[in-house]
Every structure is written in structure tokens, then in C-alpha cells.
Amino acid sequence: MCRIAGIVALGDGADNTRKVTTMTNAMKHGGPDDHGVFQHETVTLGHRRLSIIDLSSAGHQPMTDSSGDLVISYNGEIYNYKEIRADLIKLGVQFRTSTDTEVIFQSYKTWGVKGFGRFLGIFAFALYDKHTGKLLLVRDSPGVKPMYYHATSDRIVFASEVKAFKALDPQWEENRKWRSLFLAFGYLAHPVTTLKDVVALAPGSVLEVDVRTMKTSVQSFIAERATDNSEEALDRVKRTVMAALRRNIISDAPLGIFLSGGIDSSLLALLAAQEIAENERTVSVTFEEAAFDESPYQQIVLEKIRQAKHSKFLVNEGMFWDSIDTIWQAMDQPTIDGVNSYFVSMAAHKAGLKAVLSGLGADELFGGYASSSRTQWLPYLRSLPAKDLAAAIAGNFNHAYKRLSFLRLNNSLGDYLFLRGVHTPKVISQLLQCDEREVWDDLRSLQEPVKSEIPKESYASFLEYNYYMKGQLLKDTDFMSMWFGLEARVPFLDQELIHVAATTITTKAQQDSRPKYLLTKAFEDVLPNEIVFRKKQGFTFPFHVWLRNKMNNGDRLLPARLASELPVDNFMKGKAHWSQVWSGVVLDQFRWK
């Protein structure tokens, strides 16, 4: 994994090498092993390298192909590059190396942009074609690796992190909408960032730039995959999960597994033990607060993989507050939930790892959240007469009921915020001292994810996958892991597995009270019942305890005005969720970033 940046600018580009170097240096933490800059006419590409596969200097980037016409600055891994290479050789293509980077070059030469749809992996790259005068910015279809860009009539700037744009221009104007959207979501939904006109490239797409005219276009490269009904659903899931795991454990650098004690990480650890045996390494985070400590469940898994080398990392309240300034530095974009990713990444880094497997994505694909049952009430709630809905919203109800107001949006965005929204538009307008209509307008300005006909059984997965996972979990995981020079791999977001999960919808029902039925039933011979049927907890830190203790000690974490508007008193009494107060702390920090 790496960090990339670049500038395409009409006119004099003499200073762009220095500018791009400034951008990549701001992301040095994500690429500590090597750096490079390429410039040709109007195009300047930069790269910071984290060496995972091929640790030699042969992996130096930006890299040029054998013809000298193609140049790439590449962040990621193509896990099935050997299979694609074999297909290209059958077509008569000759290779100089055995790298996945050359496979990208040759795929583009042979199939064009559509060739990217063959890639199974996590990647974001800039590919410059000198012959055609085109620059392609490309991002993987699940949206695991980031790609941000800013486009005007005479300049394109891109980078892996938003902080690189701020390094380029410390006076970069902020995006007026970011505060209201953050307070609604608890993060910034796609494609919004904190900076004006800096946006995220859509997953599974290519931004094509004509470097001579600066004209741009965006197209999808996601390939349509035929549904294979030759196998029974559980067999398909089992085969595809195993194939995804085998692709993800290839590494020339130390690789481990985040082991939380939940279903998803436990399954990865148990399956990896069958593949890498004595080379398996696991890492866990534990807490002093018994209600949050998952050590007993971690131990159940570890007893089954005794050959694994395990590292345990205790995180306590003092460590959290001692680390808070560094956490703010690592947090590329505002989020209420990135601290857990920070500490598990720190734990892996201290264990000497450079790559880890994460169970992220399984809950979204296989219906692991409570929203899977709550979405069944949406048709009924939408059918309420307007006066009854208004009375429910305005009445003396708790925050969950007040989130009914989001249903006024009458789309998937409103449905998601009804399930997971942090603050309602009315509260947001009070916090930001603006008209409530402005908040509603900001929300309506967001585009919904593309959706075709979605069976009701899969609607919750659609919401969690497209909003919560892509907007929050993947971003948090990426910038926190890369802060420690750590590559986080996500086997459950293998493109083939995503397709299998999407085409076996009818089997997702929670049969025989088994959570994530399709996944846990497929591996019932591997997963211990104590793990499968434990109470759903999620990987959660004791935030509410630590935050309440800090405030009880008289520490002022919030400016006076925010403290007066937020439900601080209710939080201290245990009647409001910690995220409603913590969101104010994060908001205040990002006012100055």
C-alpha cells in the first residue's frame, strides 16, 4: 500500500515537482519506505511507498512501462494478477517482469478501461498515457482505497488523503456543507470532504483527463458478472470466501489478523490457520472494563490455532487521552468512530506487522446489523399521515423517534439516517446557528447510491454497505492504518464474494436463529458455537465511560456554546448516546484543520 498525489496544470508547470513533493510528504506516514516524483510536460505524479509485495527497489514508483508511453503511480494490490497475466500471455502479450503493476499496463493496452473490471483487489492509481495525452484516475469497486480530486478548467489535483490538499495550500477554502453533513451522519458521506470542491472519486470508476485541454469525463468499469447457479448457495459462499482469503494472505512482509472475538475476525483467523499454519500471527485489543473486553472469545479461537503467534494490546482510559492529539493528526476527515481503528492499527504496528486482515464488510454483506430487522418498519412509518408523523417528531420522545424526521427525504438517504443519524436537522441548525432549511438543502444535495430493484430482505444491507461502510468504516480503517504504515486487507470485500452475496439474497433470512445465516451456516464446521451465538457486540470501545469520567473531572472538552446546545446533561445521566456529545468534540477540532 502507498500514498499517491499529482497535478496536471496547463501553462508553466516548473514548480509542480516541488508542489507534489509537498503533498506526498504530508502523507509520508502511509508510505515510509520510498518516494518518487515523475514529470512530463503538464503532468506531475508523486508516490510514497509502503513495501508489501516485492520489497526490492524494483517496486519504485512512479513506474514507466517498457514502451515508455505509460506511467503509473499506484496504491494497492491486484490479488488475481497472476491469472490475468496468464490470460494475456495466451493473447500473445509478452512480459518483462512478474509484477502486478505490469499487468495493469498490459491490461489497459489490451482491453482499455474495461480491463480494470477484471481486477480483484484493493487499489487506486493514476495512469498517464503519453501517446493519447490522457490521465486516468482509477478506484476499486468496493471503494477500499481512497482517491480525492479537485478539477478546474486549467488544473487537476489528486491525492490519497485530503490533508495533502491542505499541505499544498494551507488557505484552501473549506466546504460550507461539511459541518451540517458531519453532524447528521457522524462522518462525511460520499463524495463530500471538508475542503471546497475536493471530492471523492466514485468507487469502481475512472476519471479520464485530457491533459491538453483539461476536459474530464467519468465512467464506470465495474464488469457485469454472470450469476452461477451451478452450486448450492452455501457451497458458493464457502468456496468464494476461501478463494478470497487465499488471495489476501499473499505477502512478502509480516502479515497478521485483527482478532476481535466476533464472528468475522474469528472466521478469518480459523481459516488462515488452515492455510499458513505456524506462520499465522494474530493481534487483539483488550480493555480493563469487563463489559467491553472480548478476551474470553479471543481465547476460544486461540485455543484452536495454538500455532499462531498472538499479540495482545491493552487500551485503557489514560492511554486514550494521552493519545488524543495524535489521533486528531491521523484523522484525515472528521468521524465519530475512528478511534478504535487507530488503536488496533497501533497494536498491529507494535507487533511488527505491515499488513493485516480485517473482518470489515461481512456484516454489511450478510446482514449482521440490527437494521436488518428494523427496516421492515419503514413502509409502515412512511405510510403514517403527515399530521401523525409530525406529532411523533415534535412530541416528548427520545432521539430515536425524533429521527423519524429524516423520512421526509423520501429516499434511501433518509432511511439510513432514520436508522443511524446522529443529530436531527433541527438540532443541527441550533448547533450551527443557521436556518433549518439550509440543513435540509445540504442533505438533499447528496446523490443516492445507484440502485436497481432491491428485494426487501436485502435493503438493510444496501443501506449499511453504501452509506455506513463506504462512508465511514472504510475511510476510518484506511487513514488510521496508514498512519502507522500498515496495510489493512478486507477479504470479505473481494469482488467475487460481493457478487455471490448479492445473488444469494433469498437465503439471508435468519434461519434457526443463526446470525449472518449464509456465512455462519457455510462454516458451521469451523466456527465455535460460543462465537456464533454470542450476543452481538461489535468492536466498541468504552467511550461513554471515558468521556463521562473526563467531564466529571471538570475537563472542558467543548466550547461553552456547543456544550449548551448538546445533550450533555442527558449524557451524564445515561440518557443520551455518547456519539451526540463526541460529535461536538470532533466538530470543534476540525474547525481548525
pLDDT, tens digit, 9 for 90 and up, residues 214-250: 999 999 998 766 655 556 888 999 999 999 999 998 8
pLDDT score for 475? 97
Residue 327 binned pLDDT confidence (cut-offs 50, 70, 90)? very high
pLDDT score for 502? 83
pLDDT score for 379? 75
Higher pLDDT, 269 or 513: 269
pLDDT score for 515? 85
pLDDT score for 396? 45
Cell 417528531 -> residue: 393
Residue 509 binned pLDDT confidence (cut-offs 50, 70, 90)? very low
Cell 480485517 -> residue: 358
Mean pLDDT (the chain) is: 89
pLDDT, tens digit, 9 for 90 and up, residues 361-405: 999 999 887 766 777 778 777 776 654 555 555 544 555 667 888
Give the Cβ contact number of residue 274 at 10 Å.
12
How many angstroms separate the CA atoms of 589 and 324, rounded? 11
pLDDT, tens digit, 9 for 90 and up, residues 139-188: 999 999 999 999 999 999 999 999 999 999 999 999 999 999 999 999 99
pLDDT, tens digit, 9 for 90 and up, residues 420-463: 999 999 999 999 999 999 999 999 999 888 766 677 778 888 89
How many angstroms separate the CA atoms of 481 and 488, rounded? 6
Q: Which of 107-116, 381-390, 460-469, 488-497 has the lowest mean pLDDT?
A: 381-390
135 secondary structure, DSSP code? E
**CATH tag, 2-162+198-220:** 3.60.20.10
pLDDT score for 507? 45
Residues 6 or more apart whose CB falls under 8 angstroms from that of 56 comprise none
- As a whole number, mean pLDDT of residues 568-579 equals 92
pLDDT, tens digit, 9 for 90 and up, residues 283-324: 999 999 888 889 999 999 999 998 789 999 999 999 999 999
How many angstroms separate the CA atoms of 106 and 103, rounded? 5
**359 within 8 A of 493, measured Cβ to Cβ:** no
- Most confident option among 19-33, 60-74, 192-206: 192-206
Residue 41 has pLDDT above 50, yes or no: yes
pLDDT score for 551? 92
Residue 251 has pLDDT above 90, yes or no: no
pLDDT score for 245? 96
Higher pLDDT, 339 or 97: 339
Residue 66 has pLDDT above 60, yes or no: yes
CATH 3.40.50.620 fits 233-368+458-538, yes or no: yes
Distance set, CA 515 to CA 166, 211, 263 (Å): 44, 51, 9
pLDDT score for 402? 78
Distance set, CA 300 to CA 359, 388, 532 (Å): 17, 50, 12
Residue 75 has pLDDT above 50, yes or no: yes
Give the residue extent of every domain in the chain: 2-162+198-220, 233-368+458-538, 372-455
Burial class (CB in 10 A: 0-12, 13-18, 19+), 205: buried
